[in-house]
A and B are shown apart, each in its own frame.
Chain A
Amino acid sequence: MPFNTWIFSIFFIVTLLVYIALRPTKFWLLWLLLASYFFYGWLNPLYLILIGYSTLVTFISGMMIGNTEKRKLWLGICITNSLLLLGFFKYAAFVAENINRLFEVLNVTASIPKPGFLLPIGISFYTFISMGYIIDVYRGKISAERNIVKLASFISFFPYLLAGPIERAQNILPQFNTPPTINRDNITEGFSLFIVGLFKKIALADFLALYVNKVYGDPSQFQSPALLLATYAFAWQIYFDFSGYTDMARGVARMMGFKLMLNFNNPYLSTSLGEFWGRWHISLSTWFKDYLYIPLGGNRHGHFNTYRNMIITMLVAGLWHGAAWNFVIWGALHALGRSITRDLERTKIYSERVPKIAKQFLIFHIVCLSWIFFRAETFGKAMTVLKGIFSCSLTDPKFSITALLFMGCILLYQFIYESNFRRILELSAVKVILMLSMILYMVFFRTSGYEIFLYFRF
């Protein structure tokens, strides 16, 4: 039940109205849980068994960590359980495929059958939410939740269940203690976030996808300008798609009185790759930082160990996005880029003499280079795109001027937003004109097709 569907609109209106009616009673949280499970079960009721089981193990482990001395054992049980679930449902096919390939190379006639089930949507998100919770309980950052309804509501809260943000228990569980206030500001702010997110998705991401899909579908048919523009377009498509979803998620939660964390913050204005990861999918990058990079040692044990930890973290982050070598390469490119630029950033010349805009240009292009491997369906196609881009043949890319204008305008908007002129964007007249333009565009220019959110695949 994606947010940009009529079914969701009806679901949300009913959920919100009943939730408002139940707020004075003790059933409001149970209602949220039921609504979240309905939302998730709508896709496939069998998914409920999985999330129910995962929640139960997390709940029991949390309680045991809080009440027994075998804290490490229960942490291990819970983490292993989450990783096994993720590994089985997300990576089993990938592992089987690679083992079979190895068998082929070794001339072994045996082969492992590939599992035929579909990846349960959102599993990468809720297993990470569960693991974050249990690690925090173990570390004593939070106490184990004794109310299973509250914990289950936290793990499965429908605004972020399918594609994040990967919320933290410290942020959400306290908000579930008492029914949050719903006032006029919650509704108008939440609705604003939702509409902006919807615009990003259906007007921008889906629009750019039309060109990207065409070019990346068969890159050998296109030359340098088209491949380059399709790569830029994909960079914006994935940003609009994912940040649009997050905006909608935050908007939906906000209308119900909850505050979700910021997940994107103008990532393409970053002047370093480190900064990029502080602005892109913030909830995931901070998760990896807190639960993988720092436990590995972070940057505390010298140059070599820092780079090693960085590389491991980025490779795992790549693999988190999908069970394919393309994603591993994408993570490796970020690790490599981060390793190189980290030292560069420490030089006086680079940090003081190179203009900010040049740094932003460089980082944007490193990110775009990595997106090629993220978007291309195979390694071969990614290499075709790369070779094509550097072939420098000049043919007409047939790229929509309107799309180019959009990308330029959004970039300009973000520059203004982060400059001293930001107050211009906060003028009522400007906001009204921009919102009106977005709504009119969605109504008159909307794409008639329907593209699934990219991050649902992960």
Chain B
Amino acid sequence: MKSSSISGSNSMLLTMKEWIFTIVLFAVISTTIYYGWNAWESFTPGPDHRETCWAEKQSDYWAYNRWIKYAREHYKVLLIGDSVIWGQEVRNNETISHYINEFYGQDIVANVGNDGLFMAGINGLVNHYGENLHNTNILLQLSPLWMSSLQRDLRGAKKSQYHHPRLIPQLSTRITYYHDLNTRLGYIFERYFRLFPFVRHLMANYYDNKSISAWMIDNPYRNPFTAITFQSAPVMAEPQGKQTSWDAKGIKLTDASFVLPSESVQWECYVDALKKLKKMNSKVFVLIGPYNHYMLTQESQLRLFSMIKILKKNLDVLGIPYFDSFEINLPSKTFADTCHLLKEGHIILTKELVSDEKFREWLKDIAK
């Protein structure tokens, strides 16, 4: 026992030895919980599984990563992208991945879509949560939506909220952040101290998306430990959209500026992710689109197509094979809005994709 030189109000002063003990015990307990949770929490994804990724759950990267790990072990291809890939307007058995699997007669492709997963988010996923993305085959969406304006390109003049703030580069001078520096430094810390994403999983899965403290205030007489049921969220089978086409909804033509790829933050991040995946020995095939060009004014359409042309050239330079969904001219009525497809759209897109020579070539060895 040590007599303290600065005793006073409740001072609990630990010696070096006591601190070492504390840190070791903390490391043992937290590591056990972190890794043990995989075994303790039931997770049995069925066919056409798609991870619940709406509202706060979209940043539950612990659960998302667990699904990627599972998918990597059980499927040959990971289809990664935003809510278009996830299938916002359709049931879980009407998604692109479902129709590819149906075509090949086996479960080859896993739906690893996540709502709002834009290109900079994909980069963050690969760079910071990408431990399960090496030595695998990735069908990666490239949605022009995220380059359709300065705001979508994270460079808007006004601060506005966007998805996945944790995945984007946190110290870029080009991005218009809506979180303060302190919050962003916390996001950087989370990438290395994985207990925090895990705690966010607990919050999302068991505590109504609240911190456990806040939950205890709302549930004053409940023991917080009894909320833990060790059951992961059930698959969201139902569509999240209204399942009507964009013109039936009365959406008017819009004028989108589209950014130059050479200046785009999203494109820079996307290219970086492609290079990183290559380094990680993963085979990537890019799916360009879909995107509802019918919703655009004529000038916007021209801007869009000239941008797509540049993007394709860049992909050629990088040696990444791709499928351009604009070439198949998806019918206007198959779009629900700017980019989400209705069921028929998924069927047409998949049919064209699986008959594409480059895609067949890419999948040839994999599907065996």
Contact = CB atoms under 8 A, between A and B. Distances in A.
Interface of A: 5-7, 10, 184-185, 188-189, 191-193, 196, 203, 206-207, 210-211, 214, 243, 247, 250, 254, 259, 262-266, 279, 398-403, 413-414, 417, 423, 425-428, 431-432, 434-436, 439-440, 443-449
Interface string B144-173: 000000000000000000000000000000
B355 interface: no
B192 interface: no
A266 B9 contact: yes
Contacts of A428: 1, 15, 17-18, 21
B39 interface: no
A447 B216 CA distance: 10
Contacts of B326: none
A189 B1 contact: no
Interface stretch (B23-31, B86-94, B299-307, B330-338): B23-31
Contacts of A259: 6
A266 B21 CA distance: 28
Contacts of B5: 185, 189
Contacts of A435: 12, 14, 18, 22
Contacts of B182: 5-7
Contacts of A192: 11-14, 19
12 contacts: A6-B189, A7-B181, A185-B15, A188-B19, A196-B11, A400-B220, A428-B15, A432-B14, A435-B14, A443-B199, A446-B199, A448-B214
Given A189-B6, A427-B1, A447-B211, A401 B11 contact: no
Contacts of B21: 428, 432
Nearest to A427: B1
Contacts of B224: 402, 445
A447 B8 contact: no
Interface of B: 1, 4-6, 8-19, 21-22, 25-26, 29-30, 181-182, 185-186, 189, 195-196, 199, 202-203, 210-214, 216-217, 220-221, 224
Contacts of A188: 13-16, 18-19
A207 B213 contact: yes
B213 A206 contact: yes
A5 B212 CA distance: 20
A356 B350 CA distance: 81
Contacts of B17: 428
A284 to B, nearest CB: 15
Contact of B6 (A7, A243, A254, A399): A254
A369 to B, nearest CB: 23
Contacts, number: 129
B185 A440 contact: no
Contact of B29 (A264, A414, A440): A440
Contact of A196 (B4, B12, B212): B12
A105 B19 CA distance: 63
A210 B11 contact: no
A243 B9 contact: yes
B248 to A, nearest CB: 40
Contacts of B186: 6
Contacts of A434: 12
Contacts of A443: 30, 195-196, 199
A210 B26 contact: no
Given A6-B182, A6-B185, A401 B217 contact: no
B12 A401 contact: no
Given A250-B6, A443-B199, A446-B211, A436 B12 contact: no
Contacts of B30: 440, 443
A264 B9 contact: yes
B25 A436 contact: yes
Contacts of B202: 444
A326 B4 CA distance: 40
Given A6-B189, A440-B29, A444-B212, A265 B16 contact: no
Nearest to A398: B220
Contact of B11 (A10, A193, A399, A400): A193
Given A6-B185, A189-B6, A425 B12 contact: yes
Contact of A431 (B14, B26, B29): B14
Given A185-B5, A264-B9, A417-B10, A7 B213 contact: no
Nearest to A243: B9
Nearest to A267: B9
B217 A413 contact: no
A368 B366 CA distance: 71
B307 to A, nearest CB: 37
A381 to B, nearest CB: 21
A370 B213 CA distance: 27
A426 B9 contact: no
B185 A10 contact: yes
B24 to A, nearest CB: 10
Given A264-B9, A431-B14, A445 B213 contact: yes
Nearest to B181: A7
B8 A262 contact: yes
Contact of B1 (A7, A210, A400, A426): A426
Contacts of B12: 192, 196, 425, 431, 434-435
Given A401-B220, A401-B221, A439-B26, A445 B212 contact: yes
